[in-house]
Structure 1
Amino acid sequence: MEKVVVEGRIEEFSMGYYGLCTVGGILSAGTTHLAITPFDVLKVNMQVNPVKYNGISSGFHTLWKEEGPSALWRGWSGKLFGYGVQGGFKFGFYEFFKKLYSDVLVDHSRSAIFFVSSASAQVFADVALCPFEAVKVRVQTQPNFAKGLADGFPKLYAFEGLSGFYKGLFPLWGRNLPFSMIMFPTFEHSMDLIYHNIIQRRKEDCSRAQQLGVTCLAGCAAGAVGTIISNPADNIVSSLYNKKADNVLQAVKNIGLVNLFTRSLPIRITLVGPVVTLQWFFYDTIKILSGLPTSGGLRRDLKEAT
């Protein structure tokens, strides 16, 4: 896969390129997750206490009535910084691994490259996210635990040590690895489908506005599919962090097989679909403003098309 210079600004697949992708991931993921903090607070409480918080409208009413409007923004720092760091690792490493595997796995399908690239990136992204997530979930569901990251990190370390920050790493991988391994390939193939079958033009022949529109449509499809796949693990993560269960098997038993797939699913679809769409939109906007093409595809695709 050869390097190219786009509009004389930045060389693709250089350290500067991967740095830009990482910054783009930080900004796009951090800001979008911050914006949906109230919904995330409700989602986590619905997972931990489904009897008390049994609906979106009634759940918001209960939180507001019992704890005031500030309760809806509990854990905002964990959302902003935790998911910002995760987004930087996820998007930056995805671009890196996609280039690496495309060069190494030359005889493999594009789907296989997208699949292993997203999995590899997510492994590192969740290791970075896990400490933030451990504090965030406790802040959102245990009002007396801490106010945010500043006092939450030392308090969690004092109570549970370093292991407390990574108690949910495997469930987090269980939630986010399937999500990414579905989301990124779905996004890539949705881009292909829209350009080839609907617009019937190459990406390079479309305006920037049209390219960003395709990015949004593909991001929406990717978010919806990924949410359904990852919902069981998301429920397990919340259960473990709130000591509703001591291990994954106990959490599955307590929640129930049907509830694993259905509990909090409507609000997660409400949350994740728009969040993923906005992330891809902001991420590709940053790319365009830097003189780069929007996301999607492999460099070898351009060679084959010429």
Structure 2
Amino acid sequence: MSDIGKKPGIQLYSKEYYAAGAIGGLIACGPTHSAVTPLDLVKCRRQVDSSLYTSNVQGWKTILRTKGDSIFTGVGATFVGYSFQGAGKYGFYEYFKKTYSDVVGKEYADKYKTGVYLAASASAEFIADIALCPFETIKVKTQTTIPPYATSVVDGWKKITAAEGIAGLYKGLTPLWFRQIPYTMVKFASFEKTVEQIYLYLGKPVSSYTPVQQTGVSFLGGYIAGIFCAIVSHPADVMVSKINSEKKPTESVGQAVSRIYSKIGFGGLWNGLPVRIAMIGTLTGFQWLIYDSFKVSIGLPTTGGH
């Protein structure tokens, strides 16, 4: 392990360590997701109506010309939701990775570490999505209606709960799990394996590189992982957008999924994929860069490759 983790301060796998992971996740996810809101906005609208805009640029031009609309529509719900989600995802990942490794024992944890990464990230995301879902519902509902459904997070919360109760904020939870859990499993497991392979290719142990070099590896590994994430989770991402904008109050989630799929078909599940690859690759790369930079700044080792 890198000497970075041996500095006085936070002890590895202590309560403070997991709290630091949560803070790092919040810092990594809230601002980065918010920064790509213009891309996310056009992506969501094209997923719901593929004929709405001919391209991203045309979409932005149209939005900028439309009174009451903005290319940052939904940024408030995005920031709040993904801050909560990032805290839960990264904090619980660190916790479950250690816990599951201890459960199976060192020999099996080393031999089947990818399985540990997958189980830990799935468990973490399951919890994190419960915090994310209400704000994702507000975000998507606001972004996919013209003019926007709500003027703020509070306005969106009040309108949805007035019309559908608290349950209305969670109507997309199951599709969200189907999108986010595979996404996060790929994000964390492929990141860990990619970083491991990068260091093997470089031929030196992690401890021989400076913190800046290590975080550079984190960015590269994160970007590569993000490409895989985007592809794996895209069909569910389309369905989340569709359900949050089109689900009828009398329908179950299963009925809504069946009706929507019968309308858009298999091909429709891939609307907006190139944009999402660019968005998620960049997003994931910067998230790992920010997360590991935060860990290094407080005297903890970077993630992966140790």
Matches within 5 A, 1:99-110: 99-106=98-105, 107-108=108-109, 109-110=112-113
Q: Which deviates more from structure 2 when the two are superposed, residues 83-92 or residues 204-213?
A: 204-213
Identify the match of residue 167 of structure 1 among 166, 171, 180: 171
Pairwise CA RMSD: 1.6
Identify the match of residue 296 of structure 1 among 290, 297, 304: 304
Q: Please, what TM-score do these two structures have when normalized by structure 2?
A: 0.92
Structure 1 stretches of 5 or more lacking a match?
none
Superimposed CA distance per residue, residues 28-49 of structure 1 (whole angstroms, 9 cap, x where no aligned partner):
1001011111111111111111
Q: What's the offset of the Cα at 1:244? A: 5.6
Structure with more contact order per residue of length (Cα contacts < 8 Å, sep ≥ 6): 2
Structure 2 stretches of 5 or more lacking a match?
none
1:252 aligns with 2:255: no
2:272 and 2:148 mapped to 1: Cα distance?
A: 24
Matches within 5 A, 1:1-306: 6-67=6-67, 71-106=70-105, 107-108=108-109, 109-142=112-145, 143-197=147-201, 199-243=202-246, 246=251, 247-260=256-269, 262-296=270-304
2:94 and 2:258 mapped to 1: Cα distance?
A: 35
1:66 and 1:47 mapped to 2: Cα distance?
A: 20
Question: Conserved in 1, the CA contact under 8 Å of 2:141 and 2:244?
Answer: yes
Q: What's the offset of the Cα at 1:287? A: 0.3
Question: Conserved in 2, the CA contact under 8 Å of 1:42 and 1:56?
Answer: yes
| Percent of aligned pairs sharing the same letter | 39
Question: Conserved in 2, the CA contact under 8 Å of 1:74 and 1:148?
Answer: no
Superimposed CA distance per residue, residues 193-223 of structure 1 (whole angstroms, 9 cap, x where no aligned partner):
00012x1111112111110111011001110
Question: Conserved in 1, the CA contact under 8 Å of 2:5 and 2:299?
Answer: no
Q: Which amino acid aligns with 1:23?
A: I
Question: Conserved in 2, the CA contact under 8 Å of 1:179 and 1:227?
Answer: yes
Q: Which amino acid aligns with 1:175?
A: R
Q: Which deviates more from structure 2 when the two are superposed, residues 78-87 or residues 51-60?
A: 51-60
1:42 and 1:194 mapped to 2: Cα distance?
A: 34
Deviating 4+ runs (over 4 angstroms): none
CA 1:40/1:89 → structure 2, altered by over 3 Å: closer, same or farther? same
Q: Which amino acid aligns with 2:239?
A: I
2:37 and 2:83 mapped to 1: Cα distance?
A: 13
1:105 and 1:78 mapped to 2: Cα distance?
A: 39
Superimposed CA distance per residue, residues 85-140 of structure 1 (whole angstroms, 9 cap, x where no aligned partner):
00000000000000000101222501110010010001001111000001111111
Superimposed CA distance per residue, residues 218-263 of structure 1 (whole angstroms, 9 cap, x where no aligned partner):
0011100010000000000000000167522222222210221x20
2:208 and 2:24 mapped to 1: Cα distance?
A: 24
2:186 and 2:5 mapped to 1: Cα distance?
A: 30
Q: Which amino acid aligns with 1:218?
A: G
2:195 and 2:289 mapped to 1: Cα distance?
A: 13
